[in-house]
Chains A and B, each alone.
Chain A
Amino acid sequence: MSNLIQMLKPKTKSQTTTLFAWALIAPAALVMFWIVVWPLYETFRLSFTNSNLGTLMGGAEYIGWENYEKAIGGRKFPSIVTRTFYWMFLSVGLKIVLGLIGASLLASNIRARGVFRALVMPPWIVPIAIGCFGWLWLYNGHFGLISNFIEMVGITDGPFSFLAYKQSAFYSAVVTDVWIGTPMVTLFFLAAIQGVPRDLYEAAYVDGASRWYRFRRITLPQIMPTIVSMALLSAIWTFNSFEIIWILTEGGPRGGTTTLIIDTFKTAIFSYKFGAGATRAVLVVLILGVFSLIYLTVLDKLNKRYGYSGVQK
């Protein structure tokens, strides 16, 4: 009996505790192994083969680094990588800035804050695909709201199809991605702002600090851990973002919105070049691996410095 009680006490690593804990974790761990770890290994293996629809289940030949040479040496590859990173930095930057603005507004002492807070949430709650159908209609050239609006204001003198040109399609996709990502960022920032001790503000107020000064010198440093960790997490998700681009443009026009993930999907699933697709997937995994390492190191640092445990989706 005392053994059982001992087991629950923190900082005991007895054999039985370890066994029991692992027995509880095992089912989840096995699923992860089956659906994530093994497929990850298989992706690496396939990336060195010429696997296609006919040879998916066996018979694909080992072709060494050929896929990698073709992928990285490909004419479009540099522009796809640049575009992916530009997509990520632009979108994450906007989400962070908008999130900060939104959170500060929602944290101000006004009536019906709860209602406003709930009204910000829908883009996050609603399935991405369905939100994108709405944007598809908004971006419509002849009949869409935005095209009509800018024509009325006088920016254009006729209909403008946002998704028909390389540049405008790219920025339209960014706007939609920001729209989907901002609510969550806002909410986490809001929670962090509300967690800042009030006496800090009161002391500064008594000393005559302005609102802007208080935001810069108290709010920002206090919620910095949340900002950093949201920025990194949202960078990873934006990098991975698939549905938004796929529904709006399928990576077009003329590859103008093709990011690494879209390129992977197109090569593997649409052209049935599983080997070449797997190669691109491996490159994505490698880049994300670097990102995750940065994320975990930074989180660890923050944890030690602020006693901060991190955020999750």
Chain B
Amino acid sequence: MKRRPNYLAGLGSLVWLFLIGLPLYVMLAATLQDRSDYAANGPLAFPKHITLHNYTQDFSNGFGHFFLNTVLVTAAVVAIVLLVIPPLSYAIVRSRGPITTGVFRLFLLGLAIPAQAVIVPMFYVISKAGLYDNLIGVILPTAAFSLPVCALVLTGVMRDITSDLYEAMAMDGASPSRVFFQLVLPLSKGGLSTIVVFSALQAWNGFLFPLVLTQSDSSKVITLGLFNFQTEHGIDIPGLLAAVVLSMLPIFIVYLFARRALVQGLMGVGGK
């Protein structure tokens, strides 16, 4: 099938490219010049004296520490998800009890709970638990709120394992845990990578829970660091934008090297 080029679509796509590309260009250009240069030349000019001063200054203003906190939160959230979701999905797919059916419905309902709706009671629960202004207090709700999508993705993947395979293992008299470790987990690798990326993104980009559950600099994550920077030194646009670039850098690296896995994790789908 041969199609002639669609010029109208081509033109439209270039307009969109401009709308996406211009802000990204302004952002990068701003971070590479001094504050006074940026103010004098305006946002659209190409930087005359290129400097990395904004980046180094962000690090000395605590962004290195916020960065580490975010890495810690992300790692912990991914660990919790990897610990509880595969057994859950296995039980949902393979167990015959009415309880697991109810559990699956619970997680489907959970998809509809917006995090915004629970920040007040979450503040109450976390304060009562003595975890206010503590990274653990950020990790727990963040992990809980990424569970529904992860459960949905992984049960979808595990359903595709054919019953012949289970029966073959049953012939050998395999226990549920042997079936889980030797059959189910190896065949769910795609789904596992999707839920890792999805939950890592939720944790890395999470803003609402850190906003209401932490306070001091020592337990600040990077999104909150950005927000504080903006409210306190909003006029230092190059410094602020350099921090924005730093915050997206890890995700950008993953995008370059594992685009497919990242996109699937972003969408919370697939994994086949």
Same complex origin of A and B:
no
Identify the A interface with B (CB < 8 A).
none
Identify the B interface with A (CB < 8 A).
none
